[in-house]
Copies of this chain bind each other. A is one copy, B any other.
Amino acid sequence: MPDAKIIVIGDEILSGRTQDTNSYYLTHRLNELGINPNRIITIGDNGIVIEQVTKDAMSQADLIFICGGLGPTPDDHTIISVANVLNKKLVLDDSILKRVEQYFSSQGRVVPELATKQALIPQGAIVLDNPVGHAPGLIIKHGKKVMILLPGVTHELQRIFETGVIPFLSDTYLLKSDITLLIRTTSIPEMEIVNKINGVLKKYKHIQVAFLPSILGVDIKVSRIKDKKTCHSIDKDIKTVLKPCIYGYGQETIEQVVGILLHKKQLTLGVAESCTGGLVADKISNVAGSSEYFIGGAVVYSNKLKKMVTGVKDSTLRKFGAVSKETVLEMASGIRERFSTDIGISVSGIAGPTGATKDKPIGLVYIGIATKKGAKHEQYHFTGNRRMIKEKSAMAALDLLRRTIEVLS
């Protein structure tokens, strides 16, 4: 495997304005491919420094990734600096120029003079197509050394890496990867997972287990699995101890899983949200094709709308308040009935920082769900700031939806 280094370029990173997520993505993906970068160097948009760091990296590493500074503005220096280090001329690439022109004309705009600068690349560089932006990726071979230049915009970098860089790395370094199993869980603490899993995984030698917690749940990553049969067996063993908390695999999101279930069971969904403010509907509608089962949602922020749109009784609001099991039950049943859906789900809670009372602290959230079998509710106490409580509430709503649909005939 090649000795790899990553150079990240951007004043916005050194100034603490933007968090660099590109090096995290690259290290993660490269390790999965069996390539272990041994250094990340982050520097600013300064041509002299870029040249110096590139020169150093060239003398130490075989494979160098350079991210950022590929744009056409005066503070983008990467291409010129790399060309200087490698002593290569800049030439105009017709294919890039054409793409840039197409990009602007598709938007009905004239190509700015600056933009044509993006078509200047070091002689001999391999151009990697960027279908989601206009700075292409570049691969430059120099003797046995390989330099890969990627734009700093995260989704552009990721797209080019997946479609252009991986095939190149696979060919060049004959990559073969072990199997990695990624199991996604929610509503169970990391410690409990560790305790439950350690026993059942003891019998597997040489595997590597990592726990990746986020505010929405814990992913379990089992890597270095030698074959499919072992992978299947590990999956089965983990399921025996964690089944109800597992919602998906790999990059699957809970809204995708919910979407697959709704599609398979031919069920439609309506959402009534208060404290999540549209986040549940937003997540559900992130799934392509969700219009097939997602009829719509109501963000009933005011009590007036809770009554008007979801039919919550005035007496319920007066007696129990907007944040109560009674209100979410009526919201869920009401939205199901009025939107004529198979399932209605509702959320009401106190996201903070204001709105708490003695009996109802920040983080208290009720979720209701109504199906043909009737309505039920769950109560939660979440911690964190306003956004975190919204995120955790939406996750809990989607997970309650998943568990409910799974057993719905």
A18 to B282, Cβ gap below 8 A?
no
A42 to B39, Cβ gap below 8 A?
yes
Against B, the Cβ 8 Å flags (1 = close, 0 = not) of A173-187 are 000000000100000
Given A302-B296, A352-B288, CB of A15 within 8 Å of CB of B31: yes
A212 to B18, Cβ gap below 8 A?
yes
A19 to B14, Cβ gap below 8 A?
no
Residues on the B chain within 8 Å of A18, using CB: 212
Q: Which of A24, A45, A182 has the most CB of B within 10 A?
A: A24
B305 to A339, Cβ gap below 8 A?
yes
B24 to A16, Cβ gap below 8 A?
yes
B27 to A387, Cβ gap below 8 A?
no
Q: Measured between C-beta atoms, what is the minimum distance from A158 to chain B in Å?
A: 11
Q: How far, in angstroms, from A284 to B221 measured CA to CA in the complex?
A: 36
Binds B, one of A68-76, A80-88, A258-266: A68-76
Q: Measured between C-beta atoms, what is the minimum distance from A128 to chain B in Å?
A: 18
Q: Measured between C-beta atoms, what is the minimum distance from A116 to chain B in Å?
A: 11
Q: Measured between C-beta atoms, what is the minimum distance from A55 to chain B in Å?
A: 14
Residues on the B chain within 8 Å of A26, using CB: 16
A282 to B285, Cβ gap below 8 A?
no
Asked if A374 is at the interface of the complex by the 8 Å CB criterion, the answer is no
Chain B residue at smallest Cβ distance from A268: B302
Q: Measured between C-beta atoms, what is the minimum distance from A356 to chain B in Å?
A: 12
B107 to A288, Cβ gap below 8 A?
no
Residues on the B chain within 8 Å of A108, using CB: 381
Binds B, one of A228-236, A271-279, A397-405: A271-279
Q: How far, in angstroms, from A332 to B173 measured CA to CA in the complex?
A: 57
Asked if A95 is at the interface of the complex by the 8 Å CB criterion, the answer is no
Q: How far, in angstroms, from A32 to B17 measured CA to CA in the complex?
A: 10
Against B, the Cβ 8 Å flags (1 = close, 0 = not) of A268-304 are 0001010111111110111011110011111111101
A to B CB contacts below 8 Å, 10 in the list = A15-B223, A16-B27, A16-B32, A73-B211, A114-B195, A276-B285, A277-B285, A277-B286, A291-B302, A295-B301
